[in-house]
Amino acid sequence: MPDAARFAGRAAIVTGAARGIGAATARRLAAEGARVLCVDSDPAVVETATACGGEALALDVAAPGAGQRLADAARAAFGRVDILVNNAGIGGSKPLAESDDALIDRFIDTNLKAVLRITRDLLPLLARPGGRIVNVASVFGEVGHPGTTAYAVAKAGVAQFTRQLAGELAPEGILVNAVAPGVIETRMTEGHRQNPYYLRAVLAPTPLRRAGAPEEVASVIAFLASDDASYVAGAVIAVDGGWLAARHPPREA
C-alpha cells in the first residue's frame, strides 16, 4: 500500500509519463509525497501531471539536446533531483532481416541512447547521497525472443547500463537499478496481446497466466526509489509473472 510520506520532500522525474507504466509510476510517487516532473512527447502527459499534482514537460527524449532541456526544466522546478525514472521507450520491433537502418536507429536512439544522454545530463542535479535512478528494461533484453531484434538489443543495453552505472555511482551514494517488465497491459502491448502467436509464446507460458498491470510495475519502481532499497544496487528485477523463471504453457485438455 502507498505510504503518503515515503517520498515527502523529494523531487522525481518520470519519462514516458503520458500513459502506461510511466503514468502509473508518476501517480505512485506523487501519492507517496514526491513532487513529480512528468515528461513525454504525447500531449496526454499534461493529464498525468494534473492528476498527480505535478508538472509536465513536452519532450521527445531522443531529440538532440533533450537531456539538457530536461535538466534545465528540473533545475527550474526543483533545484535538484532525488529520483530519475527512465521509462520512455517505443515498441514494435521486427526481425533483423526486416529492419532497415531507420528502424534500427529509431529503437537504439529512443530506447538506449536517450537513457544514457538524459542520465548523463541530469547527474549534476542528483542528490548525493540518496539519489535514485530506476531504468525500465524488458524481459526481452534478458533472453532471446525472435522478432524483436532492435528492441531487445536496446533493452539489453539498458540492463547493462544499469549494472555499469551502479558501480560508478554507488560510492557517491546514488543507487541505480532497473525493472524488466514482462507482458503489461499498456497501449504498446495491445496489438501483441491480440496476436495468437504472441499469446502462445509469451502470455500463455507465464506462470501467473495473465498480463501485469502498470501499477504492479510502478510499485516495484517505487520500492527501488525508496530507502527500503538502501542496499540494492545494479539489480535488474523482473516484473513478469514468473515468465523468465519458469516458462511453461498450460497442458492441453
Q: What are the catalytic residues? A: 151
Confirm if 169 and 132 have CB atoms less than 8 A apart: no
Coil/strand/helix, residue 126: strand
* Neighbouring residues of 17: CB distance < 8 A, sequence distance ≥ 6: 23, 25, 26, 36, 38, 39, 40, 45, 48, 49, 87
Alpha-carbon distance of 106 to 110, in angstroms, equals: 6
Q: Which three cell numbers stand for residue 76?
A: 527550474
Q: Which three cell numbers stand for residue 88?
A: 520512455
